């Protein structure tokens, strides 16, 4: 029988079809629009076809020339700008705020490779280093409340026709709703139990085992108990830490290995599907007028990966009610067995 | 300059591009997959190709034969069932519940017409009558908390390849997250102001005028101040009432006229785009152990319509952060001028 499951962090119910769940090969190959790699502006040697870089990891060469490993440039169509004024205004019962912030594009490799799954784990580690450096730089701007790191891989996942592997960093002057809900849910749990809900989830999932995709070197990958999408995967570090940007070198390295493994499993199991990943991390914690805006113990950073396999949703947008045709236990089993 | 706007009901920030907003003809025509109308199981005369009807508005003919105006059948792939047991269970920190409920399909016309915009307003009124009758029937089941009425028009909006105009009614044993957020937001506002937030929005929008698409016979159509999607439209009755199912005959008639006008404007302005609509109405208010589960004054039912014009979102899923490339004022202006 199908059942309704509740996400314990934000309290969302989802319908899980447990009886006639779909199998991986039930999902059709998602077609991508044609691209001409020769026109890719992100490949090494074509640095002059992008805005000047904000940051580059390079062992050789000059800024805005070849020789880089990872390169961060401003988005050519930024919706939030570093130099925008941070005005605030109320119009009757409506609130608005100036679009201060930033919108960067992280070019993850000098070569024309589309899927992050096909990068070496050392290359993925360098991408994480770029994320962390940029986040620390953005933290210096007191107007910035949150830094959102995410990837749109494939056209159906919001990517562009140019498939060169890259991700985005958006810095916002407000806390995002979904982030706030997660923080509030985690804090509610912490207030009562005096334990982190993510630490408890990791503990329970490792004991249970059915939703664990892999566990190695302090990193756990699970399919969430109440997934919104088939084959949704969360990657969580066992070490409790609110901010991604504070991880140590060892964790960064292990995380890159695990992310590569998970992306590779998704690619081979599901026919190279479009996907999104989002880093869930705490907002900047600054001492304001004597109190910290977020406390240390109640939030636990992690990565959520969503393959985009299902027909674009209809009423989900309006209702927050999801129907997932693959139980997490089955998704985890398939992913565990896949190389 | 772009700006961030906050939805006053649920507190979600959206980025609105005010400077280089897109115009209606910037959105490409969305292609629909081919269909064979001769194979449509929903047309009059083909009643035996669907499950037996639950409800039909008919002035002639017998059940499950022709002669009906609107016909309600169970979904052939229901995720929630009327006869499912409503068990509840906790597994460690996870909660789950049996999939009690129902999932109906409302066939909105005996003819093979795809877009509700092309139905007569009297036909749309009959569709509303079917919604109301079904809702009142479902309310008798104490296990049901909420009835969700929505439409997926077009393949990109989650519709099927068969384009015969229809909508869906899902009855759930839990309150949906998005509904709960809206109720909580509205109640928070009411607790302080002792006024309904929707009544205040209607008042402020009518005074301001820039986001009003039309106002007639006690019904107002506006583009919301903080839209998630370009050309999003809300239809609100001026009369305060929490439940759609309690509207009177006069309102039902006027509402049908307005919904037809709005759908017609969207169709002609935006090249017959895919869209979703969702009825936002209060959960069932039953007297449980001496108190009502929802009070009367703080919620105001309405319809939200979302044309599906933009490339499927990426990070929006993970963050609840939306970027809308058309300011509501411009969307309203285009829609006002369109026939």
pTM to 2 decimal places = 0.93
**Which has the higher per-residue pLDDT, A305 or B296?**
A305
Measured between alpha carbons, how far is A302 from A237 in angstroms, rounded to an integer? Answer: 7
Nearest C-alpha in A relative to B207: A92
Helix (H, G, I), strand (E, B) or coil at A244: helix
Min Cα distance A310 → chain B (Å) is 10
Segment B289-302 mean pLDDT: 72
Q: What is the pLDDT of residue A294?
A: 53
Helix (H, G, I), strand (E, B) or coil at B89: strand
Alpha helices by DSSP H, listed for A194-327, are 197-208, 249-269, 316-319
Percent pLDDT > 70 in chain B is 94
The answer to whether the CB of A323 falls within 8 A of the CB of A14 is: yes
Contact state of A96 with B6 under an 8 Å Cβ cutoff: yes
Backbone torsions φ then ψ of B154, nearest 5 degrees: 95, 150
Min Cα distance A133 → chain B (Å) is 21
- Residues contacting B36, CB < 8 A, separation 6+: none
Give CA torsion, residues A160, A153, B160, B229, to 10 deg. Answer: -60
Q: Is the pLDDT of residue B92 over 90?
A: yes
End-to-end alpha carbon distance in chain B: 31
The answer to whether the CB of A1 falls within 8 A of the CB of A309 is: no
Q: What is the pLDDT of residue A317?
A: 66
Tell me the ipTM for this assembly: 0.89
> Residue A146: enclosing H or E segment and its boundaries?
strand A146-153
Q: What is the pLDDT of residue A290?
A: 55
Q: Is the pLDDT of residue B313 over 70?
A: no
- Residues contacting A250, CB < 8 A, separation 6+: none
CA B193 remoteness from chain centre: 28
Residue-wise pLDDT tens digits, B194-251: 999 999 999 999 999 999 999 999 999 999 999 999 999 999 999 999 999 999 999 9
**Which has the higher per-residue pLDDT, A155 or B122?**
B122
Shortest CA distance to B131 belongs to which of B104, B156, B160?
Answer: B104
Point out the residue among A3, A99, A201 whose CB comes nearest to the CB of B15. Answer: A99
Min Cα distance B30 → chain A (Å) is 14
Predicted confidence band at B76 (pLDDT cuts at 50, 70, 90)? confident
- Residues contacting A48, CB < 8 A, separation 6+: A64
Measured between alpha carbons, how far is B49 from B51 in angstroms, rounded to an integer? Answer: 7
Catalogue the E-assigned strands of chain B.
3-6, 13-16, 55-58, 68-74, 88-91, 94-98, 102-107, 146-153, 166-172, 212-216, 219-222, 233-237, 275-280, 287-288, 291-292, 302-307, 322-324
Selected for mutation to probe chain B from A318, A322, A327 (highest B CB count within 10 Å) is A318
| Residues in chain B closer than 8 A to A173 (CB atoms) | 4
Predicted confidence band at B176 (pLDDT cuts at 50, 70, 90)? confident
DSSP state, B10? T
The answer to whether the CB of B253 falls within 8 A of the CB of B129 is: no
Q: What is the pLDDT of residue A180?
A: 87
Point out the residue among B8, B97, B176 whose CB comes nearest to the CB of A321. Answer: B176
Residue-wise pLDDT tens digits, B315-333: 676 677 888 889 999 999 9
Supply the mean pLDDT for chain B.
91
Mean pLDDT for each 10-residue chunk of chain A (339 residues)?
89 80 80 91 96 95 95 90 91 93 96 98 98 96 93 90 95 88 92 94 97 98 95 97 95 98 97 94 76 70 92 65 90 95
Contact state of B94 with A226 under an 8 Å Cβ cutoff: yes
Percent pLDDT > 90 in chain B is 72
DSSP string for residues in A247-264: --HHHHHHHHHHHHHHHH
CA A213 remoteness from chain centre: 18
DSSP string for residues in A42-102: TSTT-GGGSPPPSEEEESSS-TTSS-EEEEEEE-SS-SSBTTS---EEEETTEEEEE-BSE
Give the CATH number, domain containing residue A34: 3.30.428.10
The whole domain housing B158 covers 3-337
Q: What is the pLDDT of residue B19?
A: 62
Q: What is the pLDDT of residue A218?
A: 97
Contact state of B2 with A79 under an 8 Å Cβ cutoff: yes
Measured between alpha carbons, how far is A208 from B57 in angstroms, rounded to an integer? Answer: 51
Q: Which whole-number Å values give the CA distances from B209 to B54, B221, B222, B224, B305, in the listed order?
A: 43, 11, 9, 12, 19
Predicted confidence band at B122 (pLDDT cuts at 50, 70, 90)? very high
| Residues in chain B closer than 8 A to A79 (CB atoms) | 2, 15, 17, 323
Q: What is the pLDDT of residue A138?
A: 96
Min Cα distance B289 → chain A (Å) is 25
Measured between alpha carbons, how far is B234 from B227 in angstroms, rounded to an integer? Answer: 10
Q: What is the pLDDT of residue B335?
A: 97
Shortest CA distance to B323 belongs to which of A106, A172, A90?
Answer: A172
| Residues in chain B closer than 8 A to A3 (CB atoms) | 96-99
| Residues in chain A closer than 8 A to B181 (CB atoms) | 320
The answer to whether the CB of A99 falls within 8 A of the CB of B4 is: yes
**Which has the higher per-residue pLDDT, B90 or A290?**
B90
Min Cα distance A65 → chain B (Å) is 31
Predicted confidence band at B268 (pLDDT cuts at 50, 70, 90)? very high
Q: What is the pLDDT of residue A314?
A: 61
Catalogue the E-assigned strands of B225-321.
233-237, 275-280, 287-288, 291-292, 302-307
Q: What is the pLDDT of residue B77?
A: 80
Measured between alpha carbons, how far is B249 from A249 in angstroms, rounded to an integer? Answer: 68
Contact state of A319 with B225 under an 8 Å Cβ cutoff: no
Residue-wise pLDDT tens digits, B27-40: 888 888 999 999 99
Shortest CA distance to A181 belongs to which of B276, B329, B318, B193?
Answer: B318
Contact state of B178 with A321 under an 8 Å Cβ cutoff: yes
In chain A, how many domains are there?
Answer: 1
Contact state of B148 with A97 under an 8 Å Cβ cutoff: no
Q: What is the pLDDT of residue B285?
A: 80
Contact state of A150 with B8 under an 8 Å Cβ cutoff: no
């Amino acid at each position: 029988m199908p059942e309704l499951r509740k996400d314990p962090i934000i309290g969302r119910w989802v319908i899980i079809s447990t009886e006639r769940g779909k199998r991986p090969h039930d999902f059709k190959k998602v077609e991508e629009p044609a691209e001409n790699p020769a026109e890719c502006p992100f490949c090494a040697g074509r640095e002059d076809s992008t805005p000047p870089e904000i940051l580059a990891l390079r062992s050789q060469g000059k800024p805005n020339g070849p020789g880089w490993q990872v390169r961060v440039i401003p988005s050519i169509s930024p919706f939030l700008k570093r130099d925008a004024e941070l005005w605030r205004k109320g119009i009757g019962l409506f609130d608005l705020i100036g679009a201060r912030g930033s919108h960067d594009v992280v070019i993850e490799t000098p070569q024309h490779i589309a899927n992050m799954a096909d990068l070496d784990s050392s290359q993925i580690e360098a991408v994480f280093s770029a994320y962390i450096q940029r986040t620390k730089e953005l933290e210096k701007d007191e107007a910035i409340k949150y830094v959102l790191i995410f990837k749109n891989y494939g056209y159906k996942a919001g990517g562009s026709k140019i498939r060169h592997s890259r991700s985005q960093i958006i810095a916002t002057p407000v806390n995002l709703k979904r982030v706030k809900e997660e923080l509030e849910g985690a804090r509610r749990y912490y207030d009562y139990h005096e334990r982190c809900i993510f630490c408890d989830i990791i503990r329970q999932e490792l004991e249970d085992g059915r939703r664990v995709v892999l566990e190695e070197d302090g990193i756990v990958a699970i399919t969430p108990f109440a997934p919104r999408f088939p084959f949704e995967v969360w990657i969580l570090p066992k070490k409790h830490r609110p901010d991604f940007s504070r991880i140590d070198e060892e964790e960064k390295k292990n995380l890159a290995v695990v992310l590569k493994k998970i992306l590779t499993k998704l690619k081979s199991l599901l026919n190279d599907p479009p996907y999104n990943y989002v880093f869930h991390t705490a907002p900047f914690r600054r001492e304001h007028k004597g109190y910290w805006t977020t406390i240390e113990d109640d939030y636990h950073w992690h990565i959520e990966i969503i393959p985009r396999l299902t027909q674009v949703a209809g009423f989900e947008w309006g209702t927050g009610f999801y129907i997932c045709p693959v139980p997490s236990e089955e998704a985890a089993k398939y992913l565990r067995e896949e190389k």
